[in-house]
Amino acid sequence: MLFRAGRDFLRGFRTLHFVGPCVTVFGSARFKEDHIYYELARQVGSGLVRLGFTVMTGGGPGVMEGANRGAREAGGGSVGCNIELPFEQFPNRYLDRWVVCHYFFVRKVLLLKYSYAFVVLPGGFGTLDELTEALTLIQTAKIEQFPVVLMGVDYWQPFMAMCGRMIEAGTISAHDLDLMLVTDSVRDAMSHIDQRAVIKFGLTRKPRPTPSILLGEGRGAAMPVAPSTPPRR
């Protein structure tokens, strides 16, 4: 287990080191191309590229494919962290580069490590796991207060109601709700990320550094979004 996890981490770091600051889009693999959430993810991917980000997803079909497709169509970077599963999961055709992980915990580290915001569309247990992992790391100051956007007001209403119950029980604080924006508007989502990621962390366009041949790092696009002062992780 230790060897396989270490191998996955090394492959992930080598592949993703120069992809540029990303926004990770989470969501279900089960939505087809004609589904409203697939199209919403596509618009989100396009909007993130216009902000200057590389779009990162779990690399599979459904919402993940929609976000990667939107990024590709908008002329931006599109990367994925796939997972070995007996069904549902395979690298979608809109990825510029991707890694395949055996363990979910390795995959989550990679999905979180390179991102300055997280957009969460409707999904199942895996999406909830990724959402609550990000919220926990932000809440406990293990990573900076990167913006978390939940797309799909009706879908996320029960989750927000559960958060209200947790506030009543004293298991989370009322201000923890400020960590999330819940919206149906791609424009509002992009504005939120612009204010709380691009502006807050001073992200500016800079030439990408030369990759390390020793580490086997690939060369990516010439002008990613890069932080003038990287935030603490």
State how far the Cα of 195 lies from the Cα of 80, in Å rounded to an integer: 25
Sheet strands side by side (includes 180-183)? 97-101, 78-83, 54-57, 22-26, 115-120, 148-151, 180-183
Cα 177 to the center of its chain, rounded Å = 19
φ and ψ at residue 190, rounded to 5 degrees:
-65, -40
State how far the Cα of 183 lies from the Cα of 160, in Å rounded to an integer: 12
pLDDT at 15: 84
Annotation: CATH topology of 2-227: Rossmann fold (3.40.50)
Contact call for residues 90 and 29 (beta carbons, < 8 A):
no
Contacts of residue 81, defined as CB under 8 A and 6 or more positions apart, other chains included, come to 12, 16, 56, 57, 58, 59, 98, 99, 101, 107, 110, 111
State how far the Cα of 83 lies from the Cα of 127, in Å rounded to an integer: 13
State how far the Cα of 25 lies from the Cα of 83, in Å rounded to an integer: 15
pTM: 0.87
pLDDT at 75: 95
pLDDT at 120: 98
pLDDT at 20: 81
pLDDT at 66: 98
Residue type, 166: M
pLDDT at 56: 97
pLDDT at 229: 46
Contact call for residues 110 and 16 (beta carbons, < 8 A):
yes
Successive 10-residue mean pLDDT values, the chain, 233 residues: 84 84 96 97 97 95 97 96 75 92 91 96 97 97 96 98 98 96 98 96 65 45 44 57
pLDDT at 226: 47
Torsion of CA 133, 135, 137, 143, to 10 degrees: 130
Burial of 180 (0-12, 13-18, 19+ CB in 10 A): buried
- Give me 123's structure tokens: 């999904």
